[in-house]
Chain A
Amino acid sequence: MKLFKNLFDSLRPPFEKGGKFEKLWPLLDGFETFMFVPGHSTKKGAHIRDGIDLKRTMITVVIALVPCLLFGMWNVGHQHFLAVGQDAELMEKFIYGAIKVLPLVIVSYGVGLGVEFIFCIKNGHSIQEGFLVSGMLIPLIMPVEVPLWMVAIATAFAVVFGKEVFGGTGMNILNPALTARAFLFFAYPTKMSGNSVWVATDGMATVDGFTGATALGNAVEKGMAGVPPYMDSIMGWIPGSIGETSVIAILIGAGVLIYSGIGSWRIMLSMLIGGYVMGMIFNAWEANAYMQIPAHHQLMLGGFFFGMVFMATDPVSASQTATGKWIYGFFCGLLGILIRVVNPAYPEGIMMAILFMNVMAPLIDHYVIQANINKRLKRAKVAA
């Protein structure tokens, strides 16, 4: 560590105020705080600082995402070899998947951090670490066959219009990763839905009976008959966006987030309840084959769990109050299943629901706080 410390100390002078690279200060600062806890102290107000600052928070979420990423890589390979009808070893599948997935990760981080650096240098901010998580989330919610240039455009769009126009990290109304996905979904629907993008085939001949559709795509047409068995849906060896398929891998991440206190268990739990309630309502209604999928199975499909654990709990765009979190989460789940089932053109109902609730979150908070104020005012009057 001493080596790095000396390196940064020797590098610093030209970047400081008045130096040659004064404008590039955020760049150095950003890298230095990666390695070391910042040395500066607060100038006013509270002087107690928690060891866990934004950078540590973000890294924890990235760590929580690692199981999804690893499983996603394996699953990409697994689906590929299933589709072309070849046998392959575990490592073979994993390496194939890694070759497919890593470029997406690199493009997402490269473009996103690039845009962020430009804004920081232009505005003279120090670099905020918000994109560390978004950059990892974006590839995980993409179909494996999405072209890289589309990912680049979507990432740039999401960082600029999802975040920077509102004032950067911590000020955004919408979840940037979901903004990127929503942008792609509306801009290039043929590359974000349908049957040809979820499984990498490399143009090879596929086995008989292969469709390439996701579980939700099949469910629309065939209902329960098109849905993979319950255990497969939980384990996640089914086609889908890269990181979203395995409930097990996501739950490991959820454990990390809840244990470290970074993800809100209230939002996760209430969203689960909301989705389950809507699933039960559809089960009772049974107007078409899609609605007959049991609620507990419905929740295991598509991006429900991934959205619940990693998207809805985004501390910036979610509700801030405890009561608000319950309401927010509940409606995320409820609307997610509602959109997914009622409008089969939008299998990404969860994405729409979370983005919609992101917009509603400040409103929810406003009324929760107002209700509390009113309650206390009433109490004050009674006492007087």
Chain B
Amino acid sequence: MAEVATVEKEPLFSKKNRQLLKDPLDDQNPITVQVLGICSALAITTQVKNAVVMTLSVMFVMMAGNVIISILRNRIPDRIRIIVQLVVVAALVILVDQVLKAFVYDVSKQLSVFVGLIITNCIIMGRLEAFALANKPWPSLLDGFGNAIGYGWVLVIVAVVRELFGSGKLFGIELLGNATAKTGLYSIGYMNNNMIILPPMALILVGIIIWIQRARNTQLIESH
């Protein structure tokens, strides 16, 4: 009993727990370092709004999934753990899908299948397998939050660049003027870059982020 008591005393934001939040932002970023969840990063980053909604959805699924699996971790038989994880994640995703449809229908339509595909987002399954199955609910919650933010900041940066240069807008506001009416920058011959809307350019943008990150954080550079 004494041992349990000492563990309970660990502060909510101990150094270890803070690390759980900090690591996924840089050293263990799910997109730029582990290169997971690329599919959704390419598909839904043409508009910042979509990227933000996607991030929030993934954040909810990841945090809730982590906590549920962490609570169940001692009761899940090892052999069927993947199925159990899938059931939990699928249930959460359906929940998210219904909420999006009810409150932000237009965004939900644009995200289309990619909401449903959150189930297959490698980051979520990865965190459940690698972290929640072996840790207590509170650290699991922090881990889920940290990874969702790590996923989100890359998504939002890519989306800002793509929306700004691809359609001249941010959050749907025409920052650079109207392309069809030729106002603002467009009146002096500026044009939207169609290539940046295409998925390959999103991949190149993620590549640039990886490039900058590794130039700043040299311990990420593989030695060979």
Contacts and interface: CB of A to CB of B under 8 A. Distances in A.
A190 B193 CA distance: 11
A183 interface: yes
B189 A188 contact: no
A190 B204 contact: no
A161 interface: yes
Q: How large is the interface on B (under 10, 10 to 19, 20 to 34, 35 or more residues)?
A: 10 to 19
B196 interface: yes
A325 B198 CA distance: 32
Interface in B182-207: 189, 191, 193-196, 198, 204, 207
B194 A187 contact: yes
A187 B195 CA distance: 4
A147 B191 CA distance: 10
Interface in B103-118: none
Contacts of B196: 187
Interface string B95-109: 000000000000000
Contacts of B189: 147, 149
A165 interface: yes
B211 interface: yes
Contacts of A165: 207, 211
Interface string A176-205: 000000010011111100000000000000
B188 to A, nearest CB: 10
What is the predominant secondary structure among interface residues of chain B facing chain A? helix
B187 to A, nearest CB: 14
Interface string B156-196: 00000000000000000000000000000000010101111
A188 B165 CA distance: 12
Contacts of B195: 183, 186-187
A187 B211 contact: no
Nearest to B196: A187
B211 A189 contact: no
Nearest to A148: B189
Contacts of A190: 191
Interface string A125-159: 00000000000000000000001011000000000
A123 to B, nearest CB: 11
A166 to B, nearest CB: 12
B204 A161 contact: yes
Interface string A160-171: 010001000000
Given A161-B204, A165-B211, A191 B194 contact: no
A190 B189 CA distance: 12
Contacts of B191: 150, 188, 190-191
Contacts of A189: 194
B164 to A, nearest CB: 14
A188 B207 CA distance: 22
**Which of A149, A150, A161, A186 has its CB near the most chain B CB atoms (within 10 A)?**
A186
Nearest to A183: B195
Contacts of A149: 189
Given A186-B198, A187-B196, A189-B194, 13 more contacts: A149-B189, A150-B191, A161-B204, A165-B207, A165-B211, A183-B195, A186-B194, A186-B195, A187-B195, A188-B191, A188-B193, A188-B194, A190-B191
20 contacts: A147-B189, A149-B189, A150-B191, A161-B204, A165-B207, A165-B211, A183-B195, A186-B194, A186-B195, A186-B198, A187-B193, A187-B194, A187-B195, A187-B196, A188-B191, A188-B193, A188-B194, A189-B194, A190-B191, A191-B191
